[in-house]
A and B are shown apart, each in its own frame.
Chain A
Amino acid sequence: MAMTMTGEVQLPASREVVYAKLNDAEVLKACIPGCEELIKSSDTEMSAVAVTKIGPVKARFKGKVHLTDLDPPNGYRISGEGDGGVAGFAKGGATVALTEKDGGTLLTYNVEAQIGGKLAQLGQRLVNGAAKKVADDFFKNFQAHIAAG
């Protein structure tokens, strides 16, 4: 089950600051909803554990996160795949673009995601809503983090 989603968020900081935070594992860990662990193994590779609930299925996903198409301070692509055991799997990515706007930075994102196994069997009608909530929560957290300096 593939789904796509786009959105944008205005951030009160320069592109350089935003880009640096987007590469900071501690920041990402604090902002990713349900993230229990995020360990950077290189500048572009991280391993993560996150708990997600879609409809009736709650799962702890273990997976890898890759950063590619690095283009500081214009943006990058973040992608990953997570294995939720018997709950199934989720994989996907987001292209993140940063542009200067109103003295701050406009972050636009373009997400595509796929789910499989029990998640798809039971949660497919709920996945768009769930994915949107994860993205909204992430950027709300991220925005708060930037605002807090």
Chain B
Amino acid sequence: MSSTATGIGAPVRRKEDFRFITGHGQYTDDVVRPGETKAVFVRSPHAHAKIKNIDVSAAKKMPGVVDILTGAQLATDKIGNLICGWMIHSKDGTPMKMSAHPALAASKVNCVGDAVAVVIAETTAQGKDAAEKVIVDYEVLKAVIDPAKAQAKDAPQIHADIPNNTIYQWHLGDAKAVAAAFAAAKHVTKIDLVNNRLSPNAMEPRAALAEYDEGTDNLTLWNTSQNPHVARLVIAAFVGMAPEHKLRVIAPDVGGGFGSKIFIYPEEVVCLWAARKVKRPVKWTSDRSEAFLTDAHGRDHVTHAELALDANGKILALRAKTIANLGAYMSTFSSSVPTYLYATLLSGQYNIPSIYCEVDAVYTNTAPVDAYRGAGRPEATFVIERLVEVSARQLGLDPVDLRRRNFITAFPHQTPVIMAYDAGDYNASLKKALEIADVKGFGKRKREAARHGKLRGIGYSTYIEACGIAPSQAVGSLGAGVGLWESAEVRVNPTGSVEVLTGCHAHGQGHETTFAQLVSERLGIPFENVSIVHGDTDKVQFGMGTYGSRSGAVGMSAIVKALDKIEAKAKKVAAYVLEAAEGDIEFKDGKFTVAGTDKSAAWGDVALNAYIAHKFVGADLEPGLKETSFYDPTNFTFPAGCHICEVEVDIETGKTEIVNWTAVDDFGTIINPMIVEGQVHGGIAQGVGQAMMEGVVYSAEGQLVSGSFMDYTMPRAHDLPSFHVGLTETKSPSNPLGIKGCGEAGAIASPAAVINAITDAIGSEDLAMPATANAVWSALQRATPRQAA
């Protein structure tokens, strides 16, 4: 479909990879400013304690110490709290209860890792030595870690002004209709699930470098952000660090985010504040131990869910009650994840007449929890796809058949939980996946495995997600504090090369390649002649960053709109160059022609003429060729598909091997199939990690005991098979390119597919994530108690 070898649909190799894999990336820690100092944070070893006193006198005398700052000084300087930017209202209409979140705790710590002071030193080693000498006198309080216990009457109270540690008690849907449907149902399936807490573990740890210019009173922050403009807005408007026009935020190369770098964290606020105080640049780079402790974690839901069906396996209603653990403080978008990014997707790919979901969000003495790859949608998919699979087993139906009976087949489809699905073909992706996975041959493979002492199981996940985040008015009505449009500025240089300034931010997605492909296709110019500029608030006017699989659907749509304007202006210039009427100018494959003649002008000629302005007078046409567009989508996009996982379980040890993985996804228009496939691979790996390996563990006292890679298992290449990846396509009608987004699908689809496969193999539903060999073996023992001798 591509008109050039580097246009839309071409599997172009990534432009950015050469610099990344040859060590030429420029990450925050690589930026070095003259006179730079290093920040080392003093963190609480207690999950919950009052700070009685902080003595920095001995520490201040240590070699290389520039200054030591505490939460009390932060308060004196009137540095504002960090905020959560999405308002959720409880069932009773009351607004969510957000506690104060100072960047340095002054009177009380609420989780292990809470920062209480910062040492500014000449070197990190000197800072660490001095941090050892900071004496903090704590009065240790009882901690609550388990979200299911946080609301108990005798639970420790974490924030004095927030009773029962309850942030909100939210609901969505029609409780009465659901109750009636359950009363009339022939069959009800009930499940209890824990969506395990995850550590994001981006390859590059978080970092911040702040510099204060006394001459201009300007502050500059280099940080590992997925959305530098939003960081600037929050730090200016809410934290009150500096006026927005006096604060520049630069997010250079960023090595992975997965959501964890969307948020505004205490460390970047402290570095800015400290830089102004010590009048020298201040840099902090998280070490891996700090990353485990302080990066916002993901998931952590405890859910009871029920599905009502009639005698024919038609779904009548769904209800769910979830407790969401938001940790010790509300992170930037934490409130939206277990509400509007979760309950709104509980309809899955199915025509469900009524749905009711209740969500209680609670504080616990743990690190904050916020969006992590998929953010709410993996949790929803796990609920609905486990319910459907278990229902089929309980009813003695083929899980594929039960899904088919309930698929939505007519679009647009209004679900009972806000979302209006605009396009999709769920039977098509299922059918293709069944073929690729050779489901027909599964019985034979299962018998073969049994001969080798292995239990073979197959599990499905027909997932849907809402991406292309998001129509501003819609999210505004749901409580979002910002609009979620995207901006683009296209600058055509006099020589015809093009710079695209985007408000999206790349931290592994390959925007420098895919966005350039779009421009190459549209303007018919070589891919090499296009540069993508992002991540600097002084260059890009405003943008909302990258998360929620939004950069293609929303960010590229903004580029399309700006390119439309560029073409219109270029045609005016071409009309002067070619001495023809503007209406007769045609533009194709990088060439302007006059309709019905052989007169033509190359792209470069027109670009040059736009700037030299010799062929027209300023009164008729402004010189230059630069256009800006802000694009606000009309709807979410709804990527969907079918993942099929096949496992073999060793009966004696519980060791589970994924022997086959099929993913058939409908992402709408694909810009670069190689990058899309990479996104699918990475997403599946993270979902398999959640399903089989990963899990953040706090002790009952609130100590993080999975705080290193010795104890927190990440998936490795040998844990995964070669994936069989296929595509189906229905275009999204909600954006000009028909893109749906692909960044999160793998992580959303895969946990349910894995657990459905393992539970199929072992014949028991009593299995929690992560399904480690020990967990699977234990489930096998519970399911088939050994006979007494």
Contacts and interface: CB of A to CB of B under 8 A. Distances in A.
B708 interface: yes
Contacts of A114: 701
A89 interface: yes
A80 interface: no
A116 B134 CA distance: 17
Contacts of B701: 1-2, 114, 116
Contact of A85 (B47, B134, B705, B711): B134
Contacts of A83: 135
A6 interface: no
Contact of B45 (A89, A122, A124, A125): A89
Interface in B118-150: 128, 131-135
A99 interface: no
Contacts of A89: 45-46
Contacts of A33: none
Given A85-B132, A125-B710, A1 B703 contact: yes
Contacts of A117: 43-46, 112, 703
B388 interface: no
B597 interface: no
Contact of B289 (A116, A118, A125): A118
Contacts of B135: 83
B711 A1 contact: no
A118 B705 contact: no
A122 B699 contact: no
Kindly name the residue among A86, A89, A114, A119 whose own CB sees the greatest number of chain B CB atoms within 10 A.
A86
A88 B293 CA distance: 13
A86 B707 contact: no
Contact of B699 (A87, A120, A125): A120
B292 interface: yes
Contacts of B699: 1-2, 120, 124
Given A118-B289, A125-B711, A86 B705 contact: no
Contact of A122 (B42, B112, B707): B707
A121 interface: yes
Interface residues of A, number: 19
Interface string A104-121: 000000000011111111
Among A88, A120, A121, A122, which residue has the most Cβ atoms of chain B within 10 A? A121
A125 B709 CA distance: 12
Interface in A113-141: 114-122, 124-125
Interface in B133-173: 133-135
Nearest to B697: A124
Contacts of B45: 88-89, 116-120
B46 A116 contact: yes
B681 to A, nearest CB: 31
B254 interface: no
B772 to A, nearest CB: 15
B711 A124 contact: yes
B530 interface: no
B441 to A, nearest CB: 43
A136 to B, nearest CB: 24
B519 interface: no
Interface string B41-69: 01111110000000000000000000000
B289 A122 contact: yes
Interface string B12-51: 0000000000000000000000000000001111110000
Nearest to A118: B289
A118 B701 CA distance: 14
Nearest to A115: B703
Interface in B78-135: 112, 128, 131-135
A114 B46 CA distance: 11
A121 B132 contact: no
A121 B134 contact: no
Nearest to B292: A121
Contacts of A1: 699, 701, 703, 705
B29 to A, nearest CB: 21
A119 B134 CA distance: 17
Nearest to A126: B710
A116 B711 contact: no
A121 B708 contact: yes
A118 B132 CA distance: 12
B490 interface: no
Interface in A8-34: none
A89 B292 CA distance: 19
Contacts of B625: none
B343 interface: no
Nearest to A60: B132
Given A88-B45, A89-B46, A116-B46, 8 more contacts: A1-B699, A1-B703, A2-B700, A87-B132, A116-B47, A117-B45, A121-B703, A124-B703
8 contacts: A2-B700, A83-B135, A85-B132, A117-B43, A118-B289, A121-B704, A121-B707, A122-B710
Across the A-B interface, the 5 shortest Cβ-Cβ residue pairs: A117-B45, A121-B707, A120-B703, A88-B45, A85-B132
